[in-house]
Structure 1
Amino acid sequence: MDTLKVYKIGLVPYRKALDLQLNLLEKRKNGEIGDSLLLLEHPPTFTIGRKGNKKHLLMNERYLSERGIHFEEISRGGDITFHGPGQLVGYPIMDLNTKGRDVHKYLRGLEESIVMVLEDFGISANRIEGLTGVWVKGHKIASIGVGVKRWVTYHGFALNVNTDLSYFDMIVPCGIPDVKMTSIAGCLREKEGIQIEDVEEAVVKSFIKIFGFENAKVITAFDYNPENLLESDLLYNLEEELEKDLDLLI
């Protein structure tokens, strides 16, 4: 069994994080690195998958731009979703050649890992047949959309922790009419102050179990300070720090 490398990198603009995924994807395909998991948040951003319907974006792009909300058309599966502060996003860069070459099994594994995370917080969650994602009492709490190249994964999951759910009113989430969204904070009304860091720990634990890793090596590329991570030197620092860690640890 192998070690999962987990990179906790805070608040990162969507396009920067995608560039990083693609960089790590190539390294994994070439056997330069092992399996890894990026854990992060994004500034307010709507993303739509390669088969998504732009009619599911209910506001025009000018409206979004005026409010500082980004819109990205990307190569993952799935329709439209929202990313923003208070939502934990996970991007696994994993080689499915070592895990059976079964994308559907991988998707179910992602869902099961989120179900396990929610169990740690006393929340009973489930999957719905025919739909991708994780649900609590009919409300969607986690969205999943993946990409696979030469059996190496990228993109991943988005779990609402203490997300501002009003952003979802601007879209038809995941292209599902009348879907209602929820969050961990919303489910635990008596427990205010749920932190992203607490959920990150639970995610690492569930990934080790579900995907058969021996352990995890957690690397924090930056101090957890979202304001600093939005400075103009983000890309330089992010890639330099991760490359340094990879050189040391792989």
Structure 2
Amino acid sequence: MTDTEAATIEVQWLGRADYAATYEAMRRFTAERGPHTPDALWMCEHAPVFTQGIAGRQDHILASGGIPVVQTDRGGQVTFHGPGQVVGYPLIDLRRAGYYVKEYVFRIEESVLRTLAHFGVTGHRVAGAPGIYVRLDDPFSHAALTGPLPAADPFRGLGKIAALGIKVSRHATYHGVALNVEMDLEPFSRINPCGYAGLQTVDLSTIGVQTTWEEAARVLSQKLAAYLAP
């Protein structure tokens, strides 16, 4: 990360952070920020928790078991957070940054794509399904996806490796992005991830990338700081 990027977005490392407390801290930061409040990027991981988007359907949670479910005000449906997943929360003033929500989402996804590329993995976008996906048959292939997505199988051979859910209040963003590094993926089978029944979820470890949480978090934080800067 360059000095310019660090000055533009202040990266803060929260370590293993309680989800509910972090959520409330994001809301408070956003409510209290003024026109000169520096933008921030909070990097952390959470204990096991399911989080539900504002329009999330209860029937997408198949069997929560002993894992808590937290209702939030972000967009999207249900997802899972747990140890071994890098979570980034950009707290950005979009009006000051000079771009709109659609561009913001694109920049977050681009940050994940560049992070995956750092590890030799080719990530893919799927129209209408925010997040980043990889080819299950060959995650390292640079071949582009071709042809229309079949209605019966919109993810045809893809696994989700990063989830995205955001909230914008008075031009200020919170919530963010989660990249799966090396985690227990079983809880994803207890939900319809992001509202899609049968969508397979993967992490860097299961597709053959051996790295640490710290290294993946460092790369993702650098990419987010660079691509979200004005």
Asked if the contact 1:41–1:86 (Cα under 8 Å) also holds between the matched residues in 2, the reply is: yes
Asked if the contact 1:42–1:84 (Cα under 8 Å) also holds between the matched residues in 2, the reply is: yes
Q: Deviations over 1:73-110 (max 9, x none)?
A: 11000000000100111111000002334111111111
Corresponding residue number in structure 1 for 2:111: 113
| Cα deviation, residue 24, structure 1 | 1.8
| Cα deviation, residue 32, structure 1 | 5.1
**Aligned partner of 1:196 among 196, 201, 213:** 213
| TM-score normalised by length of structure 2 | 0.84
| TM-score normalised by length of structure 1 | 0.77
Corresponding residue number in structure 2 for 1:148: 168
Corresponding residue number in structure 2 for 1:158: 178
| Cα deviation, residue 208, structure 1 | 3.1
- When you count helix as a share of all residues, which structure comes out higher? 1
Matched, 1:88 2:105: no
| Cα deviation, residue 59, structure 1 | 1.3
**Aligned partner of 2:195 among 134, 157, 175:** 175
Q: Deviations over 1:167-204 (max 9, x none)?
A: 10110000012110110111225x3xx21110121112
CA distance in structure 2 between the partners assigned to 1:5 and 1:115 by the alignment: 22
Query: Please, which runs of 5 or more residues in structure 2 have no aligned partner?
Result: 136-157
Q: Deviations over 1:8-27 (max 9, x none)?
A: 11111111111211222134
**Aligned partner of 1:26 among 24, 31, 36:** 31
Corresponding residue number in structure 2 for 1:245: none
1:52 match: secondary structure: coil
Q: One-letter code of the match for 2:79?
A: T
Matched, 1:184 2:189: no
Asked if the contact 2:88–2:221 (Cα under 8 Å) also holds between the matched residues in 1, the reply is: no
Query: Please, which runs of 5 or more residues in structure 1 have no aligned partner?
Result: 214-250
Corresponding residue number in structure 2 for 1:240: none
CA distance in structure 1 between the partners assigned to 2:213 and 2:28 by the alignment: 25
| Cα deviation, residue 56, structure 1 | 0.4
**Aligned partner of 2:42 among 38, 45, 68:** 38
Q: Deviations over 1:135-187 (max 9, x none)?
A: 01110000000000001000001110101100101100000121101101112
CA distance in structure 2 between the partners assigned to 1:7 and 1:84 by the alignment: 19
Q: Deviations over 1:186-241 (max 9, x none)?
A: 1225x3xx21110121112212331236xxxxxxxxxxxxxxxxxxxxxxxxxxxx
Asked if the contact 2:53–2:73 (Cα under 8 Å) also holds between the matched residues in 1, the reply is: yes
**Aligned partner of 2:53 among 45, 49, 53:** 49
Structure 1 runs of 4+ with >6 Å offset: none
CA distance in structure 2 between the partners assigned to 1:107 and 1:163 by the alignment: 25
Asked if the contact 1:144–1:156 (Cα under 8 Å) also holds between the matched residues in 2, the reply is: yes
2:79 match: secondary structure: strand
Identity of aligned residues (%): 33
Work out the number of aligned pairs and report it.
Answer: 203
Corresponding residue number in structure 1 for 2:100: 102
| Cα deviation, residue 52, structure 1 | 0.8
CA distance in structure 2 between the partners assigned to 1:164 and 1:128 by the alignment: 24
